[in-house]
């Protein structure tokens, strides 16, 4: 008779010997790596910021701007000399030249070295010229206006509108604190040109979570029903270990999910940070006004560095993995068909995501309905930040994770307990 550890190892091997699990995992990994490398075409000048930080630092203040001016002028003089020799005209900036001749680099006027000097100087100029405008724009940001637009867009009224306004009022206090602490006064990759924040957390990390949302029910529903679908349930569940096999299955599924999720995250994130060098910006503020990609001002509820925010988001990602695993486990426990269970998981996910739109905009339950893991991952790049009228609460993420963890622990306990009384034929 196999002991508990041998049964557990057997269940784990069963999962990792499944061709469909391995194939799907490798397809997702290949897709994520393709996304990382494909983004380099639009972001191949990110190294310019690292050079700027090496020369002038990353904290924006009067001393830094004085150094930045000198550094910019040195590069500009070199680039303008090259341009003037070709054009026979004087220009005050790279932008003046490129505005006049938008196809300059397609006419083969410059060799590769000259073209690179002009392009790099143009990047340096973008950062230098953007700072005064970003300072003014940030100082003129009105949280009340953002609140009004968000509430109007979501068609909130009554109790829901009041709850949302209270959330925005608290965030307005936080926004005042950001400006007092000068958390926005840090260099980061220019969001207008590159949107690295959205690229990492929306295009990469959210995709990984969604991919795991496919793998998790695939693993859970199939292996929860393995014995039933292979007509071995009477043998397996009448053994000495008997109905406690469900606990071994739960442990095996959790371990498998954590292994697959960790491998996927590790490979993709190591590749990402190898391709895109963050070494000079790890200690900059997550609320830097350079994060803005045009659509969003990324303003955090907490005073976090880029490194701290990444760690927090990885922790949130693992929390989502475990919550989705518990949901898939319960579905697999009660639905004795792996295909139907797999489809049911996504029906429930769709309902969870769409739930706020089914509830009256005047009811406070419209707000409560957004506290689900399905809504949590939707705007992943806005987690722990100002994120709109339904989720504008300082501890939205923590409340969602804790509440759903408690709910799922209770539901899983009931599922395991009731299974021990279920007919296994």
What are the tens digits of pLDDT across the range 237-285?
555 455 567 788 888 899 999 999 999 999 999 999 999 999 999 999 9
Provide CB contacts within 8 A for 223, sequence distance 6+: 11, 14, 15, 249, 252, 253, 332
Cα 150 from Cα 387, distance rounded (Å): 9
- In which band, very low, low, confident or very high, does the pLDDT at 361 lie, cut at 50, 70 and 90? confident
- For 300, the 3-state DSSP assignment is strand
Q: Which residue has better confidence, 294 or 340?
A: 340
pLDDT at residue 425, as a whole number: 55
Report phi then psi at 305, rounded to 5. -85, 170
Nearest Cα neighbor of 252 from 2, 5, 26 is 5
pLDDT at 231: 52
pLDDT classification of 3: cutoffs 50, 70, 90: low
Task: Tell me the three state secondary structure of residue 385.
Answer: strand
| CA 212 to each of CA 25, 317, 321: distance values in angstroms, whole numbers, following the listed order | 9, 10, 7
CA distance 420 to 334: 13
Q: What is the pLDDT of residue 309?
A: 97
CA proximity to 343, closest of 208, 209, 206, 221: 221
Could you read off the pLDDT of 54-107 as tens digits, one per residue?
999 999 999 999 999 999 999 999 999 988 888 778 888 888 888 877 666 666
Q: Give the confidence band of 334 by pLDDT, cuts at 50, 70, 90.
A: confident
Looking at residue 1, what is its pLDDT? 44
With the CA atoms of 190, 192, 195 and 197 taken in that order, what torsion angle do they form, in degrees rounded to the nearest 10? 70
More confident residue, 101 or 194: 194
Average pLDDT in the chain: 88
SS3 322: helix
Q: If you count them, how many residues does the chain have?
A: 425
pLDDT of residue 111: 82
**Which residues, at least 6 apart from 126, have a Cβ–Cβ distance to it below 8 Å?**
190, 193
- Measured at the CA of 57, the angle between CA 51 and CA 61, to 5 degrees, comes to 135
Taking residues 324-337, report their average pLDDT: 91
Q: Residues 218, 342: contact at Cβ < 8 Å?
A: yes
Q: What are the b/e assignments for 167-176, b being 16+ CB within 10 Å?
A: bbeebbebbe
Q: How far apart are CA 257 and CA 251, in angstroms?
A: 10
Q: Please check the confidence at residue 150 and state whether its pLDDT lies above 50.
A: yes
What is residue 189's predicted lDDT score, i.e. its pLDDT?
Answer: 93
Question: Which alpha helices (DSSP H) does 155-275 contain, by range?
Answer: 158-181, 196-198, 206-224, 226-229, 233-236, 245-275
How much of the chain exceeds pLDDT 90, in percent?
64
Q: pLDDT confidence of 417, banded at 50, 70, 90? A: confident
Nearest to 248 by CA among 278, 276, 275, 227: 227
Cβ(49)–Cβ(281) below 8 Å: yes
Residue 44 pLDDT level (bands cut at 50, 70, 90): confident
Q: Tell me how far apart the alpha carbons of residues 364 and 361 are, in angstroms, rounded to a whole number.
A: 8
pLDDT value of position 32: 96
Q: Express as a percent the part of the chain with pLDDT over 70.
A: 90
Confidence of residue 364 (pLDDT cuts 50, 70, 90): very high
Within 237-335, residue ranges assigned H as helices are 245-275, 306-334
Q: What is the pLDDT of residue 243?
A: 58
Residue 276: Cβ within 10 Å count: 19
Torsions phi, psi of 400, nearest 5?
Answer: -60, -50
- As separate numbers, helices (DSSP H) first and strands (DSSP E) second, the chain gives 18, 0
Region 186-200 average pLDDT: 91
Does residue 424 or residue 336 have the better pLDDT?
336
Three-state secondary structure readout of 79-90 = HHHHHHHHHCCC
The pLDDT value given to residue 234: 45
In sequence order, the β-bridge partners of residue 385 are 300
Position 423 confidence tier, pLDDT thresholds 50, 70, 90: low
pLDDT at residue 338, rounded to an integer: 84
- pLDDT for residue 295: 61
| The pLDDT of residue 337 | 84
Mean per-residue pLDDT, 147-168 = 93
User: Which of 21-30, 143-152, 221-230, 291-300 is predicted least confidently?
Assistant: 221-230
């Amino acid at each position: 008779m196999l002991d508990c550890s041998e049964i557990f190892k057997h269940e784990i091997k069963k999962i990792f010997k499944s061709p469909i699990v391995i194939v799907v995992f490798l397809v997702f990994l290949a897709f994520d790596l393709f996304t990382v490398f494909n983004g380099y075409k639009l972001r191949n000048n990110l190294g310019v910021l690292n050079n700027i930080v090496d020369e002038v630092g990353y904290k924006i203040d009067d001393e830094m701007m004085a150094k930045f001016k000198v550094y910019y002028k040195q590069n500009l003089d070199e680039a303008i000399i090259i341009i003037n020799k070709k054009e026979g005209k004087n220009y005050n900036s790279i932008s003046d030249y490129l505005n006049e001749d938008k196809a300059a680099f397609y006419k083969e006027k410059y060799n590769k070295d000259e073209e690179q000097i002009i392009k790099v100087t143009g990047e340096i100029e973008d950062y230098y010229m953007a700072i005064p405008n970003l300072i003014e724009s940030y100082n003129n940001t009105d949280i009340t206006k953002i609140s009004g637009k968000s509430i109007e867009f979501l068609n909130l009224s009554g109790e829901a509108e009041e709850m949302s306004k209270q959330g925005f009022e608290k965030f307005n206090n936080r926004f005042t604190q950001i400006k007092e602490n000068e958390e926005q006064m840090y260099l980061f990759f220019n969001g207008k040109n590159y949107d690295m924040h959205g690229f990492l957390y929306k295009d990469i990390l959210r995709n990984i979570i969604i991919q795991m949302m496919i793998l998790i029910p695939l693993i859970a529903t199939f292996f929860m029903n393995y014995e039933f679908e292979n007509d071995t349930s009477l043998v397996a569940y009448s053994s000495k270990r008997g109905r406690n096999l469900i606990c071994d299955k739960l442990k095996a599924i959790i371990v498998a999910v954590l292994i697959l999720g960790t491998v996927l995250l590790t490979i993709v994130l190591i590749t990402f940070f190898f391709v895109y060098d963050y070494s000079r910006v790890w200690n900059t503020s997550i609320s830097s006004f350079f994060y803005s990609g045009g659509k969003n001002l990324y303003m955090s509820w907490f005073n976090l560095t880029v490194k701290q925010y990444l760690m927090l988001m990885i922790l949130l990602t693992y929390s989502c993995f475990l919550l989705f695993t518990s949901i898939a486990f319960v579905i697999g426990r009660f639905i004795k068909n792996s295909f139907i269970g797999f489809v049911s998981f996504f029906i429930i996910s769709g309902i969870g995501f769409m739930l706020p739109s089914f509830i009256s905009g005047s009811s406070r339950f419209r707000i409560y309905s957004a506290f689900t893991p399905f809504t949590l991952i939707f705007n992943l790049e806005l987690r722990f930040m100002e994120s709109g009228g339904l989720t504008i609460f300082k501890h939205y993420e923590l409340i969602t994770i804790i509440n759903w963890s408690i709910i799922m622990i209770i539901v899983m306990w009931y599922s395991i307990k009731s299974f021990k009384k279920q007919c296994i034929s």
